[in-house]
């Protein structure tokens, strides 16, 4: 059963198309991820789905409620954890949750019970009376996630849930997300630009770039679609080797990138000698060669023609300074 469906959802800002005719659906109970570089349109999509922005064109439904015509119904059924922290730092953790529950019309007895339950889920029970400005970055994030769950939402939106957190905390957050997906049966829609995050958490992933969805599938299928094994090599005359290898039928796909060739093949270890033979006959010297299982990075490279890290290098400087200005999350 579909819990989110969008139909040609589009958002334009003046001349910039942030989200371009995006159509997809999310199944009930799954963890669905939007994977894409910064500025791909992930946050804009979430803002439209959570009724904070009006789409320029197209429509979307959440459990049969239209995001424009039936806003209040949509709002009741979703929980949102925004990319920027959205807590009142002058209040205690418990108060933040309590006020949230009141806005969603949860009765007094239920409120208490639920606050304890969600805090337990993220291991913050003993921090209930501490003012949020004294929380660490990871604790704030956990509190926000628990707040998103307060009103038993059918869908929980997580916008870059582990942005700016250290490795250990990220791992912990992932486990909380998995746990609530399992224990509460909450459908989760998340966005991320971390490959490992999408790989670890998501049942299905949509790769989004420049406002367009390039592909949607399970992680398994995505990886298989580019071959069972991936061979990466560097060599002396990369262009001629690429031209030569393109004639070989057993290579599913070839991508040249960063003076490296990436080949998708079946049974990679048996293909290495073949490649070396071919290159020797062409008088091309191979400098390095390796075989490995495909990762989401390879999938992303295959569909966008570049790695997500390159984008990041460009944007990182900007984002970091923005976070510093906001006082950061750390």
Binding residues for another protein, rule CB under 8 A, total 30
State yes or no: residue 146 binds another protein (CB under 8 A): no
Strands, E, within 45-181: which ranges? 57-62, 65-66, 78-81, 155-159
- Distance, CA of 148 to CA of 176 (rounded, Å): 13
Closest contact distance (angstroms) between CB of 47 and another protein is 8
> Under the phi-then-psi rule, with left for phi > 0, alpha for psi from -120 to 50, and beta for the rest, what region is 305?
left
Q: Assess 137 for contact with another protein (CB under 8 A).
A: no
Q: Rounded distance, CA 48 to CA 55, Å?
A: 6
Q: For another protein, which residue of 30, 95, 282, 297 counts as binding (CB under 8 A)? A: 95
DSSP label at residue 163: T
The three-state secondary structure class of 105 is coil
Distance CA 144, CA 191 (A): 16
Query: Reduced to 3 states, what is the DSSP secondary structure of residue 154?
Result: coil
Q: Is 280 exposed, middle or buried (0-12, 13-18, 19+ CB in 10 A)?
A: exposed
Is residue 89 a contact residue for another protein (CB under 8 A)? Answer: yes
Among 4, 9, 35, 87, binds another protein (CB under 8 A): 87
44 is a site residue for another protein (CB under 8 A) = no
Give which of 32, 268, 52 is closest to 155, Cα–Cα: 32
CA 145, CA 169: separation in Å to the nearest integer?
A: 13
Instruction: CB nearer to another protein: give 90 or 258.
Output: 90
One of 17, 27, 91, 254 touching another protein (CB under 8 A): 91
Kindly tell me which of 210 and 329 has the beta carbon lying closer to another protein: 329
Of 105, 168, 283, 313, the residue at the interface with another protein (CB under 8 A) is: 105
Q: 131 vs 315, which CB is nearer to another protein? A: 131
Q: How far is the CB of 104 from another protein (least distance, A)?
A: 7
Is 75 among the residues that bind another protein (CB under 8 A)? yes
From the list 33-41, 77-85, 226-234, 260-268, the region that binds another protein by CB under 8 A is: 77-85
Give the interface with another protein as residue ranges (CB under 8 A): 47, 50-53, 72-73, 75-76, 78, 80, 82, 84-91, 95, 99-100, 102-105, 131, 147, 326
């Amino acid at each position: 059963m579909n819990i989110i469906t969008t139909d040609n959802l589009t958002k334009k800002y003046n001349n910039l198309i942030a989200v371009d005719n995006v159509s997809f659906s999310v199944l009930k109970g799954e963890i669905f991820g939007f994977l894409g570089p910064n500025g791909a349109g992930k946050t804009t999509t979430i803002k439209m789905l959570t009724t904070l922005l009006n789409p320029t064109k197209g429509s979307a439904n959440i459990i049969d409620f239209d995001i424009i015509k039936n806003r209040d119904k949509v709002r009741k059924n979703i929980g949102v954890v925004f990319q920027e922290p959205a807590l009142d730092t002058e209040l205690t953790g418990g108060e933040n949750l309590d006020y949230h529950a009141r806005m969603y019309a949860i009765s007094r007895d239920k409120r208490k019970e639920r606050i304890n339950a969600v805090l337990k889920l993220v291991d913050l029970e003993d921090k209930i009376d501490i003012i949020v400005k004294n929380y660490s970055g990871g604790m704030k994030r956990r509190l926000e996630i628990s707040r998103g769950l307060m009103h038993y939402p059918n869908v929980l939106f997580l916008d870059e849930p582990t942005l700016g957190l250290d490795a250990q905390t990220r791992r912990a957050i992932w486990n909380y997300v998995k746990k609530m997906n399992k224990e509460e049966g909450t459908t989760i829609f998340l966005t991320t630009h971390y490959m490992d995050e999408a790989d670890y958490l998501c049942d299905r992933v949509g790769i989004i770039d420049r406002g367009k969805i390039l592909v949607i599938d399970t992680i398994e299928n995505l990886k298989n679609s580019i071959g069972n094994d991936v061979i990466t090599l560097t060599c002396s005359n990369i262009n001629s080797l690429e031209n030569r290898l393109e004639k070989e039928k057993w290579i599913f796909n070839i991508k040249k990138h960063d003076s490296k060739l990436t080949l998708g093949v079946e049974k990679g270890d048996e293909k290495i000698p073949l490649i070396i033979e071919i290159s020797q006959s062409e008088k091309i010297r191979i400098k390095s060669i390796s075989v490995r299982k495909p990762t989401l990075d390879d999938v992303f490279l295959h569909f966008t023609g570049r790695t997500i890290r390159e984008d990041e290098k460009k944007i990182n400087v900007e984002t970091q300074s923005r976070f510093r200005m906001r006082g950061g999350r750390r």
